[in-house]
Amino acid sequence: MTERGAGQVQRSARRFQIGPSSVTWDGQALCFEIDEWAVPLPRPVRGRVRVVPQALCRFACALDANGQHRWGPIAPVSRVEVEFDSPGVRWQGHAYVDSNEGDEPVDRAFREWDWSRTVLADGSTAVVYDVRLCNGGERTIAERFATDGSSSAFTPPPRQGLGRSAWGLPRTMRSEPGFAPRVSKTLEDTPFYVRSLIESRLLGETVTSVHETLDLPRVVSLPVRLMLPFKMPRRG
């Protein structure tokens, strides 16, 4: 990821250009053309990603009590095709596309959250947003998205603790009683954010979910702000 100035960003109804990279909607799929450089070692990252929605979704809801922050899946049930020249990687699998937007900095409303996305046996996708607010309140959103784009709420199971990440972030996961969730693989581990694959039980199924934990006080802490330019360089 590279932060770029307004002069390197262009947008039309079907195309969004950010520097040398872009995303285009061709009527059937989102097509990403990626031409970037890795950090801290300057290696090229070049390739194509194609996300094909099974259906588009209009669901949206507020994450906080005042409606300042909103979330909604765009294509919660999709397929992805990945083909990179550098590094040489090719694969296909399940995909998910959503949107977050807000009218204020995210750290003003939230202290932390755990989020998970699960592909169920019938092809639907279950999402659990488990949010802890700065005012001490909590909000949990649990929605199941069918392959036709429709959605229905469900009652999330109890919150259970997971082991801390390598950077000491506490993680929790909603899992049905009698089944202790387990981290099967950590995909990304940073001082303020960790993404993992978690085994748990949800809606009567034993599942593997993509899971993330975000700690907002750490995001805005001085040490993290000093480190960010090395992780996310700026151009223009």
pLDDT digits (tens, 9 = 90+) for 73-116: 999 999 999 999 999 999 999 999 999 999 999 999 999 999 99
Q: What is the mean pLDDT of the chain?
A: 94
Cβ atoms of residues 76 and 150 within 8 Å: no
> Which pLDDT band, with edges at 50, 70 and 90, does 235 fall under?
confident
List all residues 6 or more positions away from 155 whose beta carbon is below 8 Å from its beta carbon: 142
Does this model's pTM top 0.85? My answer is yes
Q: How far from the centroid of its chain's Cα atoms is residue 203's Cα?
A: 21
Cβ atoms of residues 74 and 56 within 8 Å: yes
Top pLDDT among 9 and 1 is at 9
pLDDT digits (tens, 9 = 90+) for 11-22: 999 999 999 999
Strands 234-235 and 3-4, by their bridges, are: parallel
Q: Which residues pair with 119 in a beta bridge?
A: 125
Q: According to the model, what pLDDT value does residue 233 have?
A: 72
Whether residue 1 is predicted with pLDDT greater than 80 in this model: the reply is: no
> Which pLDDT band, with edges at 50, 70 and 90, does 224 fall under?
confident
> Which pLDDT band, with edges at 50, 70 and 90, does 232 fall under?
confident
Tell me the two tokens of residue 140.
């949990």
State the chain's maximal CA–CA distance in angstroms: 55
* Sequence ranges of the domains in the chain: 3-231
Cβ atoms of residues 156 and 140 within 8 Å: yes
> Which pLDDT band, with edges at 50, 70 and 90, does 225 fall under?
confident
- Amino acid in the structure at residue 229: P
Name the residue among 200, 61, 190, 186 with its Cα closest to residue 131: 61
% of the chain with per-residue pLDDT over 70: 100
Cis amide leading into 87 (omega within 30)? yes
Cβ atoms of residues 97 and 143 within 8 Å: no
Whether residue 41 is predicted with pLDDT greater than 90 in this model: the reply is: no
